[in-house]
Structure 1
Amino acid sequence: MTDSGQSFDVVVAGGGMVGAAFACAASGKGLSIALIEAREPVRDWPAGEVDLRVSALSRASQRLLTRLGAWERIAELGASPYRQMRVWDAVGGGRIHFDSADLGEPDLGHIVENRVVQLALWERLESAPDVSLICPAGIVDMERHTQGTNLLFTDGRRLDARLLVGADGRDSLIRELAGIETEGRDYGQRAIVATIHPTDWHQETAWQRFLPTGPLALLPLADGRCSIVWSATDERAAQLLAMDDLAFSEELTQASESCLGRLTLDGPRAAVPLRLQHAKHYVQPGLALIGDAAHAIHPLAGQGVNLGFLDAAELAAALDLALAHRREIGGLWTLRHYERARRGDNQLMLGAMDALKRLFSNDQQPLASLRSLGLSATDRLPPLKRLFMDRALGLSQDLPPLARP
C-alpha cells in the first residue's frame, strides 16, 4: 500500500482486463500511474482447466493487446481462434454463416479466458517503472477538489489523483460516488457459463442458436471443447441450474439442436444476471468512466470487453492530445474528446444488441418468419454480410490509434 498522501497523475480504479489495458496504454507518457485492485490476478491453474469467464476478442482488441506488448503472452497461455460463425433461429429457421475466408482473414477473432488477458497485462504493468500496483486495496470514499480527487481506502490511507479512471465494473463504486446516474433495464435473464465436451469437432466455429428464452452460444476452444454462454429467462435459468450434470447435458444438447452431437458438461456452472445499462455521462472534471463502469451490454454478440478496450484506447489517445497541446489531463477539454469519440458508438452497439434481444425473444409466428427471412436474405447478400463482418472484426479505420489496422 502507498504512504498516506501520495499523489499520482493518473489513478485507475479496477485492475481487470479493461483497467489494466488502459494503465498499460497510459504508461510511457511521462505520467505517474497507479492501478488499484482488490485482489491480484490468478497466476497459475491446473493443466486443462478452463476459466468459466471467456471473451471473444475482435481483431481490433488483438491489435490493441499486441501494441501493449501483451498478445504474445496471451497466445502462449492460450488463445483459441475461430474462423466461422453459424447463427440460426430456433423458431423461424433462418440462418446466416460468416467465414473469415470470405474476407481473406485468417480468423474472425479469438476465444480467450479472461484470467489469461488480465495476467498478461499485469505482467506488463509489473515491469513498467511509471506504474504502481496498489493491491490488495479497496476504496471507500472520495473527495473532489480543484486539482483532482482524493481517495480514501478501507485502511484509512489516502491518495491523490489528477485524473481518476473508473474501470471497476458495471456496479462501479466510482460512478456511484461521483453521482453519475445510469439508464437501462434488467433483462430478466441470466447468462449460464460452463465448459462442455461436444461429440463432434467444433470446426473452429462459433455456433449460436436463438431460442425464445434467450440465445445459446458454443464458443470453440483449441483443445476441442467449447465454452458456452446460455442466456435464459430467470425462471428457465433457475431450472437449468437446479438440474444434475446429466440432465443439464441433455437439455443443452437439445437446445443446440445437436449441431455438434451430444454435449457433455465438463466442470461447474455459473450464472450472471443480465442488464442493459449506460451511464448518462462518462466524464466529470478529473474523472472518466471506461468499460462496464460506463456501459453494460447483452452478451449475445460478445462485444462487451471489445467496447471496453476501445474506451481504453480512446482515453489514452485523449491523454496524448492533451499532452501535445499542454492541456490538463483531467480537464474537460481532454475528457470530452474521449466521451465524444466513444459515447455514440457505444450507444449504437447497446441499442443494436437490445433490439436483437427483443426481436429474437419474440416467438410470435409472423415476426419469427420475418426475422428468419431477414437472416437468410442477409446471408445471400455478400456486401451486407461484409459490412457486418468488418464491424465485428474491427477492420474499419474509424478507431483509436492503438486499435487501427
Structure 2
Amino acid sequence: MPETNFDVLICGGGMTGAGLASVLAQQGLKIAVFEAQQPDDFDLSQAFDLRISALGPQTRSVLKRTQAWQNIISMRACPYRQMRVWEMQGFGDITFHANQVNASELGHIVENRVTQLALWQVLDEMPEVTLLCPQKPLKTYRKNAIMYVETESGETFAGKLLVAADGGQSIVRQAFGIGVNRSQYQQACLVVGVNTELGQQDITWQRFTSTGPQAFLPLPGQHGSVVWYHQADEVRRLYQLPNAQLQAEIMAHFPQELGNIEVLSKSYFNLQKQHAQSYIQDGLALIGDAAHIINPLAGQGVNLGFQDISSLDAVIANSRAAGEEWWQG
C-alpha cells in the first residue's frame, strides 16, 4: 500500500481546518487536508446562507495573514460598528462602539461558506498544501511515532502531526479514545433569514429574555439574520409555521429595534455543550468543534476555533525555533 509523507495531516477542510492549513503552510510545513465535500462556488446573486458568524478582530487578523480576508471582502461581508446587549426584564443594558477602541468596526458578519471558500482559494495557490477532496478518512492511527490516515480510496498518508478538525462528531477524536463531557442546554435555536424595512444597519444586538436570547445580525443591503432561542418544542412549532405567520410571531415577540421584516428562509438546531477531555496526545491535536462546542452566542462561536489556530500555530513555531520535536504533545 503506497504511503505519502507530510508534516501535518488535517482531517476536515472547513473554516478551522482550512484556516490552520493556511497559517502552517506559511511556516513552510508540508500539509495535507482531507475533506469530503468541495465548497460551492460563489455568486452575488445567490441567496444569503443561514449559517453565518460574527468574525472578531483576532479572527480577521488570522485571515489577513494570507489573502483569505481580501477574498472574503471581494465576495460579501457586513461590518458592524456597535454591539448592544440588554435584559428584557431588568436594568442591564450595555452598548459597545468601535470608537471606544479606536477601531473602524467591531467585527464582520460573514457567511460560513464564504469564509471557507476564501480559505480554499488561498490553499489552492499554496504549493505546501495538498487538498484531498473528495477524500474521507476511513482509519486514523499512530504507529512507531508516525501518524497515519487511510482513506476510503485505499490510499495511506503519513505525517508527524495529525489534526482533528472534523467537527463535533470527530472520528479522529474517537479513534484515539478521547472522551467528551457533553450536556444539553435544553433549548433550540431558530435562525431566520430576513429582509428588513430599515436600511443597512451597523449594529448587532442581543436581548436576554426569560425563555432565552433574541438576536439580530446585519447582512449587506437590507438583509439580516434573526436568531431566536427558546425551548425545543416551541422552536419546532415556530419553524413549522408558514413564513407569513412566523413573521407575525417575530414581530410580536422581538423588540421594536428590529423594525418590519419579511421572512425569506429558516432553519433550527438543538443546542448542546461539549468539551473534549484532552486536546492533545503525542502527534495529535484537536481544534474547533472537535475540541469544544458552546452556545453559538449570536454567531460568535467560530472565533474560538480561530483562537485554537493561533495557539497551535504559535506553539509549533516556538517549538521549531527551539529545535524541538514540535509534533510531540
Q: Are 2:316 and 1:319 aligned?
A: yes
Query: Paired residue for 1:52?
Result: 50
Amino acid at match of 1:322: S
Query: Paired residue for 2:303?
Result: 306
Deviation readout 1:182-204 (Å, 9 max, x if unpaired): 11311122222221112233631
Deviation readout 1:298-332 (Å, 9 max, x if unpaired): 01253311111111111111111222122223212
Deviation readout 1:345-383 (Å, 9 max, x if unpaired): xxxxxxxxxxxxxxxxxxxxxxxxxxxxxxxxxxxxxxx
Alignment of 1:334-373 (within 5 A): none
1:196–1:227 CA contact under 8 A, matched in 2: yes
Alpha-carbon shift at residue 158 of structure 1 (Å): 1.6
Query: How far apart in 2 are the matches of 1:198 and 1:208?
Result: 17
Q: Which structure carries more helix by proportion?
A: 1
Query: How far apart in 2 are the matches of 1:195 and 1:69?
Result: 29
Deviation readout 1:252-292 (Å, 9 max, x if unpaired): 112212322222201x2111221111111100011000111
Alpha-carbon shift at residue 69 of structure 1 (Å): 2.2
- Relative to the length of structure 1, the TM-score reads 0.78
Query: How far apart in 2 are the matches of 1:78 and 1:281?
Result: 37
Q: Secondary structure at the match of 2:258?
A: coil
Query: Paired residue for 1:146?
Result: 144
Alignment of 1:370-389 (within 5 A): none
1:197–1:264 CA contact under 8 A, matched in 2: yes
1:89–1:211 CA contact under 8 A, matched in 2: yes
Unaligned runs of 5+ in 2: none
Query: How far apart in 2 are the matches of 1:215 and 1:244?
Result: 23
Alpha-carbon shift at residue 21 of structure 1 (Å): 0.6
- Evaluate the alpha carbon distance shift between residue 223 and residue 146 of structure 1 in structure 2; reply closer, same or farther with a 3 A threshold: same
- Evaluate the alpha carbon distance shift between residue 10 and residue 224 of structure 1 in structure 2; reply closer, same or farther with a 3 A threshold: same
Alpha-carbon shift at residue 205 of structure 1 (Å): 0.8
Query: How far apart in 1 are the matches of 2:231 and 2:138?
Result: 34
Q: Are 2:104 and 1:106 aligned?
A: yes
Alpha-carbon shift at residue 229 of structure 1 (Å): 2.3
Structure 1 residue corresponding to 2:32, chosen from 29, 34, 49: 34
Kindly report structure 1 stretches of 4+ aligned residues shifted beyond 4 Å: none
Q: Secondary structure at the match of 1:299?
A: coil
Query: Paired residue for 2:93?
Result: 95
Structure 2 residue corresponding to 1:285, chosen from 262, 266, 282: 282
Alpha-carbon shift at residue 29 of structure 1 (Å): 2.4
Query: Paired residue for 2:236?
Result: 238
Q: Secondary structure at the match of 1:6?
A: strand
Q: Secondary structure at the match of 2:153?
A: coil
Query: Paired residue for 1:172?
Result: 170
Q: Which moved more, 1:187-196 or 1:17-26?
A: 187-196
Amino acid at match of 2:318: L
Amino acid at match of 2:266: R
Structure 2 residue corresponding to 1:61, chosen from 29, 34, 59: 59
2:48–2:111 CA contact under 8 A, matched in 1: yes
Aligned residues: 329
Aligned-pair Cα RMSD in Å: 1.6
Q: Are 2:276 and 1:276 aligned?
A: no
Q: Which structure carries more strand by proportion?
A: 2
Alpha-carbon shift at residue 177 of structure 1 (Å): 1.0
Query: How far apart in 1 are the matches of 2:46 and 2:153?
Result: 39
Query: How far apart in 2 are the matches of 1:39 and 1:68?
Result: 23
Structure 2 residue corresponding to 1:205, chosen from 184, 203, 206: 203
- Evaluate the alpha carbon distance shift between residue 45 and residue 202 of structure 1 in structure 2; reply closer, same or farther with a 3 A threshold: closer
Q: Which moved more, 1:196-205 or 1:281-290?
A: 196-205
1:292–1:304 CA contact under 8 A, matched in 2: no
Query: How far apart in 2 are the matches of 1:4 and 1:132?
Result: 17
Alpha-carbon shift at residue 5 of structure 1 (Å): 1.4
Alpha-carbon shift at residue 46 of structure 1 (Å): 5.5
Deviation readout 1:101-149 (Å, 9 max, x if unpaired): 2222211110011111111110110011111000001112222112222
2:216–2:225 CA contact under 8 A, matched in 1: yes
Query: How far apart in 2 are the matches of 1:15 and 1:312?
Result: 13
Query: Paired residue for 2:72?
Result: 74
Query: Paired residue for 1:296?
Result: 293
1:185–1:277 CA contact under 8 A, matched in 2: yes
Amino acid at match of 2:158: D
- Relative to the length of structure 2, the TM-score reads 0.95
Percentage identity across paired residues of the two chains: 39
